[in-house]
Amino acid sequence: MNIRSIISNDNYSREEILYCLNSQGDDELALLEAGGRIRKQFVSNKVYLRGLIEYSNICAKNCFYCGIRRENKTVGRYCLSDENVLDAARFAMAKNYGSIVIQSGELSSPDFVKRIEQLIREIKRMSDGNLGITLSLGEQTEETYQKWYDAGAHRYLLRIEASNPTLYKKLHPDDPLHSYETRVNVLQTIKKVGYQTGTGVMIGLPFQTMEDLADDLCFMRDIDIDMCGMGPYVEHKETPLFQYRDQLMSQNDRLSLTLKMIATLRIMMKNINIASTTALQAINKEGRAQGILAGANILMPNITPGKFRDSYLLYENKPSTNEEAEDSTSSLEAIILHAGAEIGYGVWGDSLHYKSKL
């Protein structure tokens, strides 16, 4: 087996995927190069931007890895005002980003559902329908997903986090609020409502094996996702998983494994959208450029008002926590140019995979 013969196939066995993830040296370089080349060939050399608005760090859940989990009492909680959100959306319009992402801790009160619906409608009205809207607001009912879709959101991100149910259970409390089965069902509901559907995993988690990661990629292929956002797991000291920090691979190894995951997924699912995530930048300042070089085609500049950024710490060393949006924008341009790609300004940059199924 070698990388060149694997990538000349159309269908990849679990063994071949594992081979890609375990590749080193020249084989690894050939894999990353192929990821970048296939991106250019199948989705163009444009990288699309989604301005990320971190709406609230108030969360009903208690995921063992996450810094804003409900039981972390050291976090000062916030929720953006409507004006904060609309200002951020105006900023994205002024910068010609094309799209925004609204992300938040998981809440499902009627008030929350209504406010999000109204914000989506207002952003659509204000931008004459031009700003694309992705949501990343956790598990909701079908009715809620439908409401937000009808209001104008058209893409949804919900990471499976770990597709192996046994591993998933080690990362979450054992209660109905954190059920693996629900998470899988909810992903299907999101698809059924009509969203371009994205999922993803964390890479380098305690207890996670290479086989788990190969199976994660097979899971994404089997449920036929349109988009993917995956990044390295980064420990946070106020979380239960922090006690396993000595068992983790080095941050450098997490970086290279994430790049191999991106390249392998790009080769397996040629025309989906793949994000080069902020967590990649948290472990290496060149991380996001390397993600693009390995096959990613989406970047999510943080446009949350500066004073709230330090409170949305999912993990430690999260970048740009005290930078204003403007600084992040210029550094993003540098990242994209550095990766030899262009910015796809002013367009949605929808998943070609989704469109090919219509």
DSSP codes of every residue in 225-291: -SEEEEEE----TTSGGGGGGGGSPPHHHHHHHHHHHHHHHHHHSTTSEEEE-HHHHHH-TTHHHHH
69 binds, options ligand SF4, ligand SAH, none, Cβ within 5 to 8 A by partner type: ligand SF4
**Residue 1 identity (one-letter amino acid):** M
Q: Which of 23, 103, 140, 144 binds ligand SAH (CB under 6 A)?
A: 103
> Rounded to the nearest whole angstrom, what is the least distance from the CB of residue 270 to ligand SAH in the complex?
24
172 binds ligand SAH (CB under 6 A): no
63 binds ligand SF4 (CB under 6 A): yes
309 binds ligand SF4 (CB under 6 A): no
DSSP codes of every residue in 184-209: HHHHHHHHHHT-EEEE-BEES-TT--
Cα 169 to Cα 171: distance, rounded to the nearest angstrom: 5
Yes or no: say if 197 and 227 are a contact pair by the CB < 8 Å rule: yes
> Rounded to the nearest whole angstrom, what is the least distance from the CB of residue 125 to ligand SAH in the complex?
25
Cα 304 to Cα 318: distance, rounded to the nearest angstrom: 13
115 binds ligand SAH (CB under 6 A): no
DSSP codes of every residue in 94-139: HTT-EEEEEEES----HHHHHHHHHHHHHHHHHTTT-SEEEEE---
Specify the DSSP class assigned to residue 29.
H
> Of the two residues 197 and 271, which places its CB atom closer to ligand SAH in the complex?
197
Part in contact with ligand SF4 (CB under 6 A); list of ranges 59-67, 145-153, 233-241, 341-349: 59-67
301 binds ligand SF4 (CB under 6 A): no
> Of the two residues 17 and 75, which places its CB atom closer to ligand SF4 in the complex?
75
- As given in the structure block, the two tokens for residue 172 are 């979450």
Angle between helices 110-126 and 82-94 (to 10 degrees): 30
Cα 208 to Cα 87: distance, rounded to the nearest angstrom: 40
105 binds ligand SF4 (CB under 6 A): yes
78 binds ligand SAH (CB under 6 A): no
158 binds, options ligand SF4, ligand SAH, none, Cβ within 5 to 8 A by partner type: ligand SAH
295 binds ligand SF4 (CB under 6 A): no
CA 243, 246, 247, 251 dihedral sign is positive
Residues 120-149 contacting ligand SF4, CB under 6 A: 138
50 binds, options ligand SF4, ligand SAH, none, Cβ within 5 to 8 A by partner type: none
Q: Show the CA angle centred on residue 256, arms to residues 36 and 187, nearest 5°.
A: 75
Yes or no: say if 39 and 284 are a contact pair by the CB < 8 Å rule: no
> Of the two residues 16 and 106, which places its CB atom closer to ligand SAH in the complex?
106
Q: Which of 30, 34, 68, 263 binds ligand SF4 (CB under 6 A)?
A: 68
Yes or no: say if 21 and 210 are a contact pair by the CB < 8 Å rule: yes
> Of the two residues 34 and 259, which places its CB atom closer to ligand SAH in the complex?
259
Part in contact with ligand SF4 (CB under 6 A); list of ranges 64-72, 198-206, 246-254, 265-273: 64-72
> Rounded to the nearest whole angstrom, what is the least distance from the CB of residue 128 to ligand SAH in the complex?
28
Q: x/- site string to ligand SAH, residues 243 to 282, per CB under 6 A?
A: ------------------------------------x---
Q: Which of 48, 91, 233, 348 binds ligand SAH (CB under 6 A)?
A: 233
Number of residues forming the site for ligand SAH (CB under 6 A): 18
> Rounded to the nearest whole angstrom, what is the least distance from the CB of residue 236 to ligand SAH in the complex?
5
Q: How far is it between the farthest Cα atoms of the chain? A: 56
Cα 167 to Cα 170: distance, rounded to the nearest angstrom: 5
283 binds ligand SF4 (CB under 6 A): no
Residues of the shown chain interacting with ligand SF4 in the complex, contacts defined by CB under 6 A: 59, 61, 63, 66, 68-69, 105-106, 138
Residues of the shown chain interacting with ligand SAH in the complex, contacts defined by CB under 6 A: 65-66, 103, 105-106, 136, 138, 158-159, 161, 202, 231, 233-234, 236, 279, 314-315
